[in-house]
Structure 1
Amino acid sequence: MFDLKKQVLAFSLMVSLGIAETTGLGFAEVDLVFPRDGIFGLMPLTPIVFVIQNPAAIDRLYPYIDYGLWPVDLPRGNHTLDRMLVQQHLPNTTDTTGSVAFLNARIANTLNTENDWEFVWKMDWTNCSTSANETTSDGEPKVNLNNPWAGQSVRFTTKKGANQPNLTALTADDKCGDASALAFNVTKTLEPQSGYYEGQKCAVLASPAPTPAPCKVSVAPAAASSILSTLTAAQCAAFTPGISCPPKKGAATVNNAASQLIWWAAVYQLSIVQWV
């Protein structure tokens, strides 16, 4: 479904301009908390954690996030990206300007050996802009739907005896600036009256993009614990978990967990996130 939507966007670059939302949603950002550059202990279950600053604005970008993880010495022809963190709409983003959300995923049975690794993530999004030359049948200007993208990578090492990743420590003052991040300035939104986004609002972005500010957010210990517990529970609900899990208490409990804790999760932690 999501790939089909992307293909439609690629062939439908012009839609008619409707109502414009003039109030800018402002600064928004996607930060990769982990993986991160550094040396970490062996991980039977690897957390993948993004922090979304101002999810209401990011929601108007209709972003897609792909990622891949492989040994540094793996031939480039064997590199693949998985669209397991498909971010179409963040949940409950209405009237949440200024809040924070998490996108979480996990990889099992990969980083439980010593090695040097590369984690690559790519995000593409929609940027609306009015057309200078074309108008609708009613004389209104049309809007371009551009689909830019950007990719970033981090390298790290797994080593026996090293510390496990600590999400709180990685967002502390001395480490937060090392985060891989993409920032945006949403000046307003446009509402197309035709095309694939008819009736929806898409973002108009300022250029150049603002400098990322990952240090605006720190992950409190309670939030870090909640994220890791959620990822572990989701993995243990799998048919073949591949990690050490507590005994299952019953099929009903397992089925309920599996239905709620799917491969990727976008969960709000507003009560346990510190936003500087």
Structure 2
Amino acid sequence: MTLTPIVFAFQNPAAINRLYPYITYGLWPADLPNGNQTLSNDLVEAHLPNISGPVSFLQASIANTLNTENEWEFVWKMDWTNCSTPANGTTSDNERRLVEKPDVTLMNYWAGRSIHFTTKKGANQPNFTALTTGDKCSDTSALAFNVTKTLRAQTGYYEGEMCAVLQSPAPTAAPCKIIIAPAAASSISSTLTAGQCIAATPAISCPARNGGAYIDEVTSQLKWWAAGVLLVGKFLI
């Protein structure tokens, strides 16, 4: 069994983090009837990792048999939260009735994208670094947001948390600004492999156990079979 890596890259993660992104995705043969298609996997964190850096990654994998010749469709959807204040300047008192604060409204939105690709035996095996450089990165699917400021939510699920304020128009997505260096690609690959190997019944071959624990020599079991751009989504400011 092989793993299909799923990687979403976020530019300016400190700003995107306040959108509270929630991602669902699915992978199936391109000719699968619509009634059988489902976004059965999700990627959600309370906060994005490493928001102090220029890029943050969310990663997962699908254990399946992509080592067959076929045409495939990868579909992903992102839900996010947008804060706003009323145009008429309506305010509400705080708990101690000392300071009035502008009312903050939270709205939820979503958008989806899809990627088609083909797998062929004997094809070149692309890697994370190659897919984000040269003339390949522009083939990736992306969303872009214009985050102008943050407000503190006063009610609801995010009460007390800061939330992002968006303005239109959104900038043009620029996926070529993200490059996954070889070291980062190796780290992602090892993380996905390690995640499988801690499972009770891993879907891949794992290092031998030593005293009940896996030997700390996690080698990637990720095998690439795609002949083209494969499953790299990006969200940018």
TM-score by length of 2: 0.81
Structure (1/2) with the larger helix percentage: 1
1:214, distance to aligned residue in structure 2 (A): 0.9
Separation in structure 2 between the aligned mates of residue 228 and residue 134 of structure 1, nearest angstrom: 50
Match of 1:164 among 112, 125, 140: 125
1:164, distance to aligned residue in structure 2 (A): 2.1
Instruction: Give the corresponding residue for 1:225.
Output: 186
Q: Deviations over 1:165-211 (max 9, x none)?
A: 31111011211111111111210001123333221110001201111
1:134, distance to aligned residue in structure 2 (A): 6.9
Instruction: Give the corresponding residue for 1:46.
Output: 4
Calculate the aligned-residue CA RMSD, in Å: 2.0
Separation in structure 1 between the aligned mates of residue 202 and residue 59 of structure 2, nearest angstrom: 17
TM-score by length of 1: 0.70
Q: Does 1:99 align with 2:54?
A: yes
Separation in structure 2 between the aligned mates of residue 177 and residue 226 of structure 1, nearest angstrom: 24
Separation in structure 1 between the aligned mates of residue 206 and residue 122 of structure 2, nearest angstrom: 22
Gaps spanning 5+ residues in structure 1: where? 1-42, 258-276
Instruction: Give the corresponding residue for 2:25.
Output: 67
1:246, distance to aligned residue in structure 2 (A): 2.7
The amino acid across from 1:60 in the alignment is R
Instruction: Give the corresponding residue for 1:57.
Output: 15
Instruction: Give the corresponding residue for 2:71.
Output: 116
Please, which moves more after superposition, 133-142 or 157-166? 133-142
The aligned length equals 210
1:83, distance to aligned residue in structure 2 (A): 4.0
Gaps spanning 5+ residues in structure 2: where? 94-99, 219-237
Match of 1:76 among 31, 34, 40: 34
Q: Deviations over 1:228-255 (max 9, x none)?
A: 122122222222222233322232348x
> Is the contact made by 2:144 and 2:173 (CA closer than 8 Å) also made in structure 1?
yes
Please, which moves more after superposition, 82-91 or 43-52? 82-91
Instruction: Give the corresponding residue for 1:214.
Output: 175
1:92, distance to aligned residue in structure 2 (A): 4.9
The amino acid across from 1:49 in the alignment is V
> Is the contact made by 2:21 and 2:78 (CA closer than 8 Å) also made in structure 1?
yes
Separation in structure 2 between the aligned mates of residue 83 and residue 89 of structure 1, nearest angstrom: 18
> Is the contact made by 1:65 and 1:87 (CA closer than 8 Å) also made in structure 2?
no
The amino acid across from 2:71 in the alignment is D
Instruction: Give the corresponding residue for 1:153.
Output: 114
> Is the contact made by 2:104 and 2:152 (CA closer than 8 Å) also made in structure 1?
no
> Is the contact made by 1:64 and 1:88 (CA closer than 8 Å) also made in structure 2?
no
Instruction: Give the corresponding residue for 1:37.
Output: none
Instruction: Give the corresponding residue for 1:199.
Output: 160
Separation in structure 1 between the aligned mates of residue 35 and residue 147 of structure 2, nearest angstrom: 37
Separation in structure 2 between the aligned mates of residue 252 and residue 243 of structure 1, nearest angstrom: 16
- Against the structure 1 CA distance between its residues 91 and 225, is the aligned structure 2 distance closer, same or farther, given a 3 Å change threshold? closer
Structure 1 ranges of 4+ moved more than 4 A: none
Separation in structure 2 between the aligned mates of residue 203 and residue 84 of structure 1, nearest angstrom: 22
- Against the structure 1 CA distance between its residues 91 and 102, is the aligned structure 2 distance closer, same or farther, given a 3 Å change threshold? closer
The amino acid across from 1:124 in the alignment is D
SS of residue in 1 equivalent to 2:150:
strand
Q: Does 1:86 align with 2:44?
A: yes
